[in-house]
Amino acid sequence: MIEILQPGILSSVQDLGRYGQRQLGIHPGGALNTLALISANLLVGNPREAAGLEITMGACEMRFRCDTRFALTGDDFDARLDGKAIAPYWSTPVRAGQKLKLSHCSRDGTPAIRTYLALAGGIATPVVLGSRSTDLKAGFGGHQGRALRKGDRLPLGEMRSALERIGGPAFGVRSPHWNGLAALPYDSSEHLTLRVLPGPEFEQFTVAARQSLWQEKWRITPNSNRMGYRLEGPELKRKLSRDLLSHGVVPGVIQVPPSGKPIILMGDAQTTGGYPKIGVVISADMWKLAQAPLNAQLQLQLCDLEQALHASTEQQDYLHQMEQTLAALDWSRASQYRK
């Protein structure tokens, strides 16, 4: 069990999402950065889909009530275990009574937004409609259907692997950034490049709008959340004024309301929408968007389906490689090097 001492701005239990019920109006939700949650789970010996915590903007503090092992992935919030620095993408054994504290910003002061915490055995809140994810809007799933509060106690599941995994040494893996998954030719420290497929209504926008989509920089406004990121940039005008009939939408869709200001839909977006869709961020780049801080500048880059599917394969290869490497670790030998 872990006890939440400080929940931070928004911390919630999330797994890989709630699927199969969109036709009942139930959105998939789940961790916005699934790559990070899966990595964290693998690092502590969990199955990929175990539930962990998604912690927004850091400033979260918790006490472990049992011996376990944890990993933090995604952004770095200068995490400290009883004051000792813990690097992201590391798997660390922990004793009952120890305290983990995340600061409100990263170690070097760079803006950060989300971090993921996995614990050996996974967070064992009840499965609701096929998932442990918290549906913050409809108020179910996760821990009592809400964001975490001070004093909440979260149960952990049975550990899948042998106990020596807990006792074994700390170790780390290369983050997706180190592995080159984040670096696109046009990425820079000033902006993040996202690859985008033209949406079903792309051709309905003016030539000027279609050009600005690819050429201008788009700022993520602070009025952004797990439902959608609102972007600031030039107004995107549509040639037609006819309303669309309500239709299914998915995370990654870039919809343009009559204001001309685009919104990128995220995991908690409603299942159907009515605004024209100028583009869709490829699924392999959604994790980068999950980690993009408020006010970050985005560069949208046109890509095709083949590139999108290739990028997905690269991402799966990264996870698969991590899985293989961790499976091959000789835990009994590793424990000889403790301390």
Binding residues for another protein, per CB under 8 A?
Answer: 19-26, 128-129, 135, 137-141, 197, 199-200, 242, 245-250, 252-253, 270-272, 277, 280-284, 305, 308-309, 312-313, 316
Task: Give the nearest distance from C-beta 24 to another protein in angstroms.
Answer: 5
Closer by beta carbon to another protein, 104 or else 137: 137
Closer by beta carbon to another protein, 59 or else 129: 129
- Dihedral (CA of 307, 312, 313, 319) sign: positive
Closer by beta carbon to another protein, 20 or else 97: 20
Q: Are 40 and 14 in contact (CB under 8 A)?
A: no
Closer by beta carbon to another protein, 82 or else 243: 243
Q: Are 44 and 119 in contact (CB under 8 A)?
A: yes
Going through 203-248 in order, the beta strands assigned E by DSSP cover 217-220, 228-232, 247-248
Q: For the chain, how long is the longest CA-to-CA vector? A: 70
The tokens for 23 are 């036709």
User: Mapping DSSP to helix (H, G, I), strand (E, B) and coil, where does residue 39 land?
Assistant: helix
Distance, CA of 11 to CA of 283 (rounded, Å): 24
Task: Give the nearest distance from C-beta 209 to another protein in angstroms.
Answer: 18
Residue 174: how many CB atoms within 10 A of its CB?
A: 15
Closer by beta carbon to another protein, 224 or else 315: 315
The tokens for 51 are 């539930």
Closer by beta carbon to another protein, 23 or else 189: 23
Task: Give the nearest distance from C-beta 307 to another protein in angstroms.
Answer: 9
Q: List C-alpha distances in Å: 150 to 4, 49, 257, 316.
A: 5, 26, 38, 36
284, with CB counted inside 10 A (0-12, 13-18, 19+), is buried
